[in-house]
Structure 1
Amino acid sequence: MQDKTNLSRRTFVKNAGLLTAGWPVISSLPAFGGAASAFTPPSAANLHWLGGKAPSINAGATWGVPWPKGTVKKDAGFVLTTPDGENIQLQSWTLASWPDGSIKWSAHAIGARHVNNTTSFQLTPAKGTPAKGALKVREQADSISIDTGIIQCEIGKTGVAIIRSIKRKDSIIAKDGKLILLTQDQPDEGNGLSPQHDTFQSNITSVVLEQQGPVRAVVKIEGKHLNDKQRAWLPFTIRLYFYEGAESVRIMHTIVFDGDEQKDFIRGLGIRFSVPLSGELYNRHIRFAGDEKGVFAEAVKGLTGLRRDPGAAVRTAQVNGEEIKGTLPDVVSKRLQYIPAFGDYTLFQPTPDAFEIQKRTREGFGWIQAAYGRRSAGTAYVGTHVGGLAFGIRNFWQSHPAQLDIRQAQTDQGHITLWFWAPKAAPMDLRFYHDGMGQDTFEKQREGLEITYEDYEPGFGTPFGVARTSEAQIWVLAATPSNEQLSAIAAYIQDPATITFDTKQWQTAGVFGGNWMGTQTPSPGKKKIQDQLDFYFDHYNRQIDEQHWYGYWNYGDVMHSYDTDRHVWRYDVGGFAWDNSELSTDLWLWYYYLHTGRKDAFRMAEAMTRHTGEVDVHHIGPFAPLGSRHNVQHWGCSAKQLRISTVTNRRFYYYLTADERVGDLMREQLDAAATLRTIVPGRKIGQQKGDPDGKYAGVSFGTDWGSLAGAWLTEWERTGDKTAKDRLLNSMQTIAAQPHGFFTSSAQMELSTGKFQRAPQEQFSVSHLSAAFGLPEICAELIGLVDMPAFEKAWLQYCEYYNASEEEQIAGVGRPLGKLNLKQGHARLTAFAAIRKNDKRLARRAWEEFLGGEAGIRNLSQDVHILRGPQVLNTVTEANAMSTNAVAQWGLTAIALLDYINEDYPEK
């Protein structure tokens, strides 16, 4: 369901116009520095809960805030206040810095006690404001102990148990938290063969205390899964998050596949805890959160529905999860031993549209069906009136097959397991989906590309090195929660509270290209464009559900192209299936969110960032750290490319949330150029491979360098790293020094320094894809950040002449560029040249290129067709001529032109 409670489409015009009314006309901006210099630096940032509504419960929150250059000194502190003047305890740190050392992005965390129905906050830089909070951390030789003020957790540094124990008021609620991996050596083919099963557990190799309070603590745990034969595989990274005053622990779970997909079939992957239990079995309670706030609530030994009535007070207490005190009536008490105790429960979500709950008395006896439902909220509970554990997986049904288990609740040592891959489902099958179909030569592979758009090469469609990150929470409760309380916890796990800044903040700060905003006035024509932006986002958001773009390995991605004959997206046609960030879908979603503030846009972009940064990228192995081009399987294409693994797609989420895992992913890309010596990005273009041991790699100035520049820029501003800075600046200088600047297209780059060798004078080339994967956005940021006139000149030359007439190209670069594609998408390059050169002619040309729609979307339409059975299997909403490539590029360009040259829109 859409959530527009923050900013609706009706207020998009206001964001694009009225909020910036009175800003300086963009063409009057100086040639360097951007619009940020024209503002009086703000003394505070206005913040609010994402979605505009205060959460009913809160487990702590972390977020990022951008600041204009020179506004906030590097050693500044911060004060967070509510509208009524209340100061909130705050922990702050720096995410990124400007070149002058001032803070570019600050990160902040608050604890779990601060809600009070407050919907907005004010964040003010201040001196002498050390962080205060009650969270306590103690690191010892073999463990780390963390006390939130409510719960106490001991984390192991060695061995199997990641979380050794969790207490509340000196009572152990859970212990022996460890990872569980179940495998088999062949799939379930139904051929009479019996797979060999194996069990692995976590084995810790590294523990790092990344943050130690006083409001927020983060522990990073790494290792591999180990079996009895000492085979260690499937590397994992676990991050545990603790907040002051919280009764919960947030768990980020990452695995990297390093097995043989032909014989390593995962049939169960999860986290298991032991839960000590005591007292009468009729005082032990089981809970599962279902769909639409529904709750399945039972006791291990039920006292309702019996032939002999224990009394209304007893029945009511048990149903409510309260303690049944005193002795039961004789008619029941003397026959208690004949009432079955159900100690084992399972909630299994095999698909996004159905779950079941089963229970049994204990192992060795049959299961009985307890309940059914559609989409479980993915949270369960086991415990008593003196305490218990609630546990849940975020995006539970979206990431099916998932499962929640409770075992041996009738004993003094129960067990719970959060299964990210459900053992009741078929085992995970990561094998390539076809046998190559005889494509054993380069020529045959080119023919395959011609017919299905699939870039195939034997051995390249492997999942080796791909990753998956899942999120879970455990809540350490003082008593069995009411149904309403458990439902609220389940909702929070699925939609954790997030704080963010007002839309104007990023524009004022000049981050993500916000320094190019000019005077913006509403008009009917521009309103039509803004409405179309809303339509495209809404349509794709709806398609996720209608087309069931869900599953452990799929959730977060969208499809590339539509099949109007079958009325389905081309899920089974080579390179037309999963999108894998093709033509900057990620960037479109993030810029759309930044301009609208819509919560549903944030959540969709968040899911895509998680997916494309993990599943679509090889993190280890011969292809690391490159990503895979679009395919039927996310890792299936033989084109392994920086344009997919690019940091440019990740940095939005990192800076908005301070997410450590995304920080890891971005750092992986710093030396990515080294892989280009052996893995050529365009497998079927006939490029020559480089020297695997050489000092140089062939790097294109478009998708390759744009991705490297994003990685180096981000590392430089995050850490001040000199190597990253030098590589970035050296590469910019040596691109500018090429015979034809960006039109030189590519050159040999020295890996250690980032310096490009000078290409031959006769080398001249241009690709329509060079500027389709974040290059315009990164170059815009660099020009606003680094005073390098030669680089700006080279980039503006490319921007001005890519879409120019043949005569203008001959006059400007000495030759015609030939027939080029994606003219509409490149209109944003023309617009950027217009504002930097203060050229109204270029501004008018940019709007003509965009509105003309060549190689893009010519006629705007919001027409949809509802198709129902028997024409289709399921009811679908079909839009005219929908293509993700076209929509992503149209969306990015529409937003850019409304920002850059709003006042030049040809209304008539």
Structure 2
Amino acid sequence: MSTVTRRDFVRTAALATAAAKFVSTATAQTAPGRSSPTMPRATAAGAAPVRWLDDAAPAVFGGTTWGVSWPQGRHPATARFALTSAEGAAAPVQSWPLAYWPDGSLKWTAHAAPADVPLSGHYELAAGTPASPNRPLNTRITAEGIFVDTGVIQAHIAQQGDVLVPALTRGGETIAQAGRLVCLLEDRSAPGTTREKAFAGRIDAVTLESDGPVRAVVKIEGRHADAKRTWLPFVVRLYFYAGGDTVRAMHTITFDGDEDHDFIKGLGLRFDVPLRGELYDRHVRFAGQDDGLFGEAVRGLTGLRRFPGREVTAAQVAGEATPPLADWQQNVVERLQYIPAYDEWTLSQPNADGFQIRKRTQAGYTWLTSAQGQRAGGSGYIGTPQGGLAFGLRNFWQSYPAQLDIRGATTAAATVTVWMWAPEAPAMDLRSYHDGLGQDTYEKQYNGGLNITYEDYEPGFDTPAGVARTSELFFTVCAATPSRERLAELAAAVREPAVLTTTPEHLHASRVFGDIWTPVDRSTPARTAIEDKLDWYFEFYRDQQEQRRWYGYWNYGDVMHTYDSDRHEWRYDIGGFAWDNSELATDIWLWMQFLRSGRADLFRFAEAMTRHTGEVDVHHIGKFAPLGSRHNVLHWGCSAKQLRISTAVNRRYYYYLTGDERVGDLMRAQVEAGRALLRVPPTRKLASAEVAGDLARAESKDQDNVGLGFGTDWGSLAGAWLTEWERTGSELMKQRLLNGMRSIGAQPHGFFSAGVTMNLNTGEFSIAAPDEIGLSHLNAVFGLVEVCAELIQNFDVPEFRQAWLDYCELYSADRTTQEARLGQGLRGNSLRQGHSRLTAYAAVKLDRDDLAARAWDEFKGNNRWETFEPSRRELTGPDVLRPVEEGPGVSTNSTNQWSLAAIECLALIGRSAPKS
């Protein structure tokens, strides 16, 4: 039973009435010139509006999955759902639960729409009997493998061996076959020479995760192998939708090699494509920038000295079957063998600013440069009028170096490779960027490097062992060569796949994510000023990503931590000031701002960050697993391996909005993350740790208890346990949460207590000494605020609630109040503006107007509405390499915390905010 205050009750009662009003007013309250979603009409009572992220139905739709929230008690766990278009037509849908409220009712549900769903401007989801798809998806498992039939295409997935997908067929014809993973390794063992070794992805396990009538998901796990070695674990998930002709593949690798010797030269997914047509009826296509398209035939008929006929050239350019040879000009027919046919084609994108297309007649002969451009669309096609394969890699140029290869175009079967790491680029170099600089003791590391470059270095800790990377690929099985317009649409769908979602108003009315945020509201000048600044910060970082080229296979999705105003450059090369790695909850800021705004650009920016920070910034196997790495020049370079970076709290938003299985796996991996602190004590370098015993200084011999803090450590564990309990109803997770909450509430000074250990099996804390006071300004700024809001919303533990409210009230209180309540004043309680949201939370829960007024004063800072007014300044040469903008005084830490404070203060105490 959750605790409900008078103010909570009033707010809840008002939400249902206000939701319809929000729908009609949200667009009007958006600042001019800024993109905002067009909200669907008000839905029927109890229903959820469903809208396209980009406001309009897509030109190409291959099916999708999305999440919807529900208020507590609205739907029982057994509820079924029906989807209805804006025109009132029943639309097929498949549904399943993602999370439950404490009373067992549905909190989050996932829904899948088929590829041939009636396209509408928006939809409505409500309890009811779902419509069946026109062509239901079917799966079957045999000794030969798993077979999936979407009603349009058929896929055969193997359960062993090094061929993952033996065949993709359509209309009885095999369009693609022998789908397999390839890894090229550059061997540098012999001084002065390099050799390439090829590894194939070998299957270890295959799981049919979803086999409903609308959606099927097949998970393939394995490792790359050659005759002597097995390494580089992979996970490939294949997604199929009823009525669809496209296979979506989510590809993940986990690096388990030696960074000083293992240099990956190429990483790709490969298919063979049978070609049934004549060479002049074989077509190659590559997507260029925007809707640009490169299109040629293997044996070209245009531009010859002799003209074959207008119908012939028009058909070839269009990708259609050419007329019978009898209808051609015979002086061309007689000389066809003298027209070169091009067997090999390559599009390479070595960086974010340029790509090149080349072709050659065969190996051993020179390449011809066919075309060049800036940013390729990441898609290609090879086929004939009898069928072919379109292929694409999302975030192609953003995740450079990438490459698309077609080989054997003149043979019976071409080979297509989508390279996630381009073999034409320099090999992947994951080595350290310095030799340690003599930091061979904790003293040198803590008081040396950390004090000058902010880098927490330790020998052997700056390793990529265990980090991962996920890529998203698409393969469309075509019955014939698509038109150029259609291929451009397919390429656009690869770049930005269609996404369905609900509205900020519905999410808010459901009271999910702690009920500490509200949709955008510009009803007063003061609110408008805050909303403008929130938009400014996101748009600045969005533009900095482009201007500063925060791109690349291992980097895309992250932002930089701190700016160097002297160089006019972010400190990409200075220790702990470089890549942000989720410091001070960047992920949470972006997702909460999306929740309240529904902006597509925010969603995609946050999505890329979630993919990156959950994979690259976390060790998934090895000694440091499953901890994350603090901010550094290299994403894995810092020796501070911490729960606050790997925390499931950063992933919850994307998971519940999309139902993404990979992110679900990442969160589940954090359930037992506390055990990693036994191997990697977080306070091992502190002088105070010398007297705290093995739990703090060295690897522990006690495998049941670990020393950790109530803030970044327990907050992260609580986030993982809460998520697992919501998803599964696990009694173990619930008891760990309750034991932790009760034992925190039993501490002599609640969250201000220190020097405790936690039992990893039960989640219960030891009791601190009564005279011990502990505080860190970082405790609450990595998701603890958001987790505690949800814990108090879900569980009735009065002593925990009081302990948290005491922390919220006292953190920024005057010294006299602190001394009266705690026996002493607090030190180190900085980041007061960011902590204003804690004061605001206490104000609401304690129903105290004085705390609300204090919270706004803390948020304003120095009796001003803002402590800092950001602005942009354009820079040009010779001060900088190319024209860029800088925001003097902007730092990512401050941006995150100001933004979260603004969002939560507006939600909690917005009614008491100044009107101007």
Q: TM-score range by the shorter chain?
A: over 0.9
State which of 67, 73, 78 in structure 2 corresponds to 1:75: 78
1:572 aligns with 2:534: no
Partner Cα distance (1:466, 1:357) in 2: 32
Q: How does 1:621-632 map to 2 (within 5 A)?
A: 621-632=622-633
Query: How big is the shift at 1:329?
Result: 2.3
Distance 2:4 2:665 in 1: 40
1:638-649 maps to which residues of 2 (within 5 A)? 638-649=639-650
Within 2, Cα distance between the matches of 1:690 and 1:585? 31
Write the distance in 1 (CA, Å) between the matches of 2:818 and 2:230: 59
| Structural mapping, 1:445-524, within 5 Å | 445-446=445-446, 447-514=448-515, 522-524=523-525
**1 CA distance for matches of 2:519 and 2:413?**
65
CA contact (8 A) 1:216 1:241 kept: yes
- Stretch deviating more after TM superposition (124-133 or 328-337): 124-133
CA distance in structure 1 between the partners assigned to 2:516 and 2:813 by the alignment = 26
Counterpart position of 2:166: 164
Q: Which of the residues 119, 122, 125 maps onto 2:121? A: 119
2:832 aligned partner: 823
Query: In the alignment, which of 878, 887, 890 is matched to residue 886 of structure 2?
Result: 878
Deviates further, 715-724 or 130-139 = 130-139
Per the TM alignment, residue 93 of structure 1 is displaced from its structure 2 partner at its CA by 0.2
Q: Is the 8 A contact 2:7 2:844 kept in 1?
A: no
- Cα drift, residue 685 of structure 1: 2.8
Match of 2:728 in 1: 719
Structure 1 residue corresponding to 2:906, chosen from 898, 903, 907: 898
What is the distance in 1 between the residues matched to 2:134 and 2:152?
17
Match of 1:220 in 2: 219
Structure 1 residues 690 and 198, CA, compared in 2 at 3 Å: closer, same or farther?
closer
* CA separation of 1:423 and 1:504: change in aligned 2, threshold 3 A: same
- 2:693 is matched with which residue? none
For residue 239 of structure 1, what is the aligned residue in structure 2?
237
Q: Name the SS for the 2:221 alignment partner.
A: strand
For residue 115 of structure 1, report the CA deviation from its aligned partner.
Answer: 4.2
1:14-36 Cα shifts (integer Å, max 9, x gaps): xxxxxxxxxxxxx9943777944
Per the TM alignment, residue 857 of structure 1 is displaced from its structure 2 partner at its CA by 10
Match of 2:97 in 1: 94
Distance in 1 separating the partners of 2:802 and 2:821: 12
Amino acid at match of 2:537: Y
The residue matched to 2:277 in structure 1 has which SS? coil
Counterpart Cα distance in 1 of 2:436 and 2:259: 16
Deviation at 1:516, TM superposition (A): 7.0
Which position in structure 2 is the counterpart of 1:257? 255
Question: Whole-Å Cα distance in 1 between the matches of residues 683 and 574 of structure 2?
Answer: 19
Do the aligned partners of residues 588 and 236 (structure 1) sit closer, same or farther apart at CA in structure 2, a change above 3 Å counting? same
Pairwise CA distance, 1:279: 2.2
Name 2:272's counterpart in structure 1. 274
- Residue by residue over 1:363-389, the C-alpha shift from the partner in whole angstroms, topping out at 9 and shown as x without a partner, is 222211111000000000000011000
Counterpart of 2:621 in 1: which secondary structure?
coil
| Distance in 2 of aligned mates of 1:391 and 1:829 | 49
Higher mean C-alpha deviation, range 487-496 or range 518-527: 518-527
Q: 5 Å matches for 1:388-427?
A: 388-427=388-427
SS at match of 1:700: coil
CA distance in 2, matches of 1:594, 1:413: 48
Cα distance 1:746–1:545, how it changes in 2: closer, same or farther (>3 A)?
farther
In the alignment, structure 1 residue 777 sits paired with structure 2 residue 786: yes
Tell me which residue corresponds to 2:564. 563
Whether the 8 Å contact between 2:202 and 2:222 is mirrored in structure 1 is yes
Which structure 1 residue ranges, 5 or more long, are not aligned?
1-26
* Structure 1 Cα separation of the partners of residues 875 and 179 of structure 2: 48
Letter in 2 for 1:264: D
Displacement of 1:846 after TM fit?
Answer: 0.3
Instruction: State how far apart, in whole Å, the 2-side matches of 1:166 and 1:28 are.
Output: 55
Aligned CA-pair RMSD? 1.9
CA distance in structure 2 between the aligned counterparts of 1:718 and 1:34, rounded to whole angstroms: 29
Question: Hey, what does 1:297 align to over in structure 2?
Answer: 295
The equivalent residue for 2:815 is 806
**Take 2:721 and 2:444, find their aligned partners in 1: how far apart are those partners?**
38
> Is 1:794 matched up with 2:803?
yes
Distance of aligned partners of 1:34 and 1:693 in 2 relative to their CA distance in 1, 3 Å threshold: farther
Cα separation, partners in 2 of 1:453 and 1:124, compared to 1, 3 Å:
same
Query: Given that residues 54 and 115 in structure 1 are in contact (C-alpha distance below 8 angstroms), is that contact kept between their aligned partners in structure 2?
Result: no
- TM-score when scaled to structure 2? 0.93
Q: How does 1:526-565 map to 2 (within 5 A)?
A: 526-565=527-566
Gaps of 5+ in 2: 18-44, 690-695
Q: Distance in 1 between matches of 2:130 and 2:365?
A: 65
CA distance in structure 2 between the aligned counterparts of 1:275 and 1:721, rounded to whole angstroms: 47
Shift in Å, 1:196 = 2.7
The alignment status of 1:865 with 2:873, answered yes or no, reads yes
Residue 30 of structure 1 is matched in structure 2 by 6
2:807 and 2:70 map into 1 onto residues whose CA distance is 30
Work out the CA distance in 2 between the residues paired with 1:360 and 1:683: 59
Q: Distance in 1 between matches of 2:177 and 2:725?
A: 41
Question: Structure 2 vs 1, CA of residues 853 and 297 (structure 1 numbering), >3 Å: closer, same or farther?
Answer: farther
Secondary structure of the 1:64 match is strand
Q: CA deviation at 1:132?
A: 8.4
Q: Is the 8 A contact 1:36 1:68 kept in 2?
A: no
Distance in 1 (CA, whole Å) between partners of 2:342 and 2:231 is 36
Q: CA shift at 1:140, angstroms? A: 1.4
- Residues 42-99 of structure 1: per-residue CA shift (max 9 Å, x gap): 4101110002111111000110000011110110100110122100011000000011
Q: How far apart, CA to CA, are the structure 1 residues paired with 2:131 and 2:818?
A: 57
Cα 1:658–1:865, aligned 2, differ >3 Å: closer, same or farther? same
Report the 3-state secondary structure (helix = DSSP H, G, I; strand = E; otherwise coil) of the residue aligned with 1:291.
coil
CA contact under 8 A between 1:76 and 1:127: conserved in structure 2?
Answer: no
Residue 873 of structure 2 aligns to a residue whose secondary structure is strand
TM-superposed deviation, 1:588? 0.4
1:144 aligned counterpart, secondary structure? strand
Shift of 1:170: 0.4
Report which stretch shifted further, 681-690 or 867-876: 681-690
Matched, 1:439 2:439: yes
Distance, in Å, in 2 between the alignment partners of 1:633 and 1:691 is 28
Is structure 2 residue 53 aligned with structure 1 residue 50? yes
Q: Residue type matched to 1:76 in 2?
A: A
Shift of 1:442: 1.6
Q: Distance in 1 between matches of 2:232 and 2:56?
A: 40
The alignment-based identity, stated in percent, is 53
CA contact (8 A) 1:521 1:902 kept: no
Q: In structure 2, what is the Cα distance between the partners aligned to 1:516 and 1:636?
A: 35
Shift in Å, 1:847: 0.3
Q: Hey, what's the Cα distance between the residues in 2 that align with 1:518 and 1:203? A: 48
Distance 1:857 1:314, change over 3 A: farther
CA contact (8 A) 1:473 1:493 kept: yes
| CA distance in 2 between partners of 1:253 and 1:360 (Å) | 30
Q: Given the superposition, is the C-alpha separation of residues 413 and 127 from structure 1 closer, same or farther in structure 2, using an over 3 Å criterion?
A: closer
- Give the match's secondary structure for 1:444: helix
- Equivalents in 2 of 1:222, 1:216: separation in Å? 20
Residue aligning to 1:607: 608
Partner of 2:658: 657
Deviations 1:91-137 (A, max 9, x none): 00000001111000011001011243x11111001368888861111
**Aligned residues of 2:521 and 2:528 also touching (Cα < 8 A):** no
- Using the alignment, how far apart are the partners of 1:521 and 1:544 within structure 2? 28
> SS of the counterpart of 1:200?
strand
What amino acid does structure 1 have at the position aligned with 2:343?
Answer: G
- Give the CA deviation at 1:513: 1.8
Residues 518 and 286 of structure 1: CA distance in aligned 2, closer, same or farther (over 3 Å)? closer
- Per-residue deviation, 1:37: 5.9
Shift of 1:192: 7.7
Q: Which amino acid counterpart does residue 48 of structure 1 have in structure 2?
A: R
